[in-house]
Amino acid sequence: VGTDGSHRARGRGRPRDEHIDARVLETTRVLLAELGYARTTITAVARRAGVGTPAIYRRWPSRVTLIENAVFPEFPSFVLEPTGNLPADLQRYLDEYCTVLSAPAARAAVPGLISEYQTEPDAHRRIGDRVSGSTVRAAFTMLLAAAPDRDVDRAVDPDDVFDILIGAVVFHLFVRPFAGRHDDNTYITQLLLRALAPPLGKG
């Protein structure tokens, strides 16, 4: 099993048809957007993509792994170079997260996957890697480190702020629209800047 959760490097000697990989992943994204998480089954994907279910199971050991790979092909790799301007960097980081998570397939998949993880203890850590993986988390810590002392109280744990940020994004994208609230995400940046500021930096 490769680092992306697929069965890439089995060394069976026969070259693998990358066209099938791409078609199955694309079909998975289409069905997620069209039918939602619950109805995006391996059987439904196989039928729509015109491949057999064994061809899918050879590549991805489960429906969860297939959906993870379809929605987050290289999610943990998005890294933004910090400029040292905290308000701007934070807003850019937030916008990037919102863009990735608001693609139609991601909207359907993320809450569905989170639901599945609750009753699947062996999925442990997968969501840590996918939604708040070490690369994005590290990038966020770097962003705070690059900011001037007047903007960041060093006593605040960057990991805690990161967790609040991701939770805020998830709520903003997936719940807030149903509460009839406005679409502008800058309140998240504003409140995080206030939470980060040192006591005297605000005076």
Q: Is 168 in the site for its own copies (CB under 8 A)?
A: yes
- In 3D space, the residue among 164, 194, 179 whose CA is nearest the CA of residue 97 turns out to be 164
- Mark the segment that binds its own copies (CB under 8 A) among 7-15, 42-50, 143-151, 191-199: 191-199
Q: Is 160 in the site for its own copies (CB under 8 A)?
A: yes
- In 3D space, the residue among 36, 12, 129 whose CA is nearest the CA of residue 74 turns out to be 129
Tell me whether residue 127 is exposed, middle or buried, using C-beta atoms within 10 angstroms of its C-beta: 0 to 12, 13 to 18, 19 or more: middle
Shortest separation between residue 16's beta carbon and its own copies, angstroms:
30
How far CA 123 is from CA of 70, 71, 117, 128, 136, in Å, comes to: 17, 17, 6, 10, 20
- Mark the segment that binds its own copies (CB under 8 A) among 10-18, 21-29, 85-93, 187-195: 187-195
Query: Applying CB under 8 A, which of residues 20, 35, 42, 100 lies at the interface with its own copies?
Result: 35
Nearer to its own copies, 43 or 190 (CB): 190
Q: Is 183 in the site for its own copies (CB under 8 A)?
A: no
Residues whose CB is less than 8 angstroms from the CB of residue 14 and which lie 6 or more positions away in sequence, other chains included: none
Binding string, residues 88-127; x marks residues near its own copies by CB under 8 A: -------------------xxxxxx-xxxxxxx--xxxxx
Tell me whether residue 175 is exposed, middle or buried, using C-beta atoms within 10 angstroms of its C-beta: 0 to 12, 13 to 18, 19 or more: exposed
Please give the residue ranges that form the binding site for its own copies (CB under 8 A).
Answer: 33-38, 107-112, 114-120, 123-128, 131-132, 156-157, 159-161, 163-164, 166-172, 174-176, 178-181, 187-188, 190-192, 194-197, 199-200, 202-203
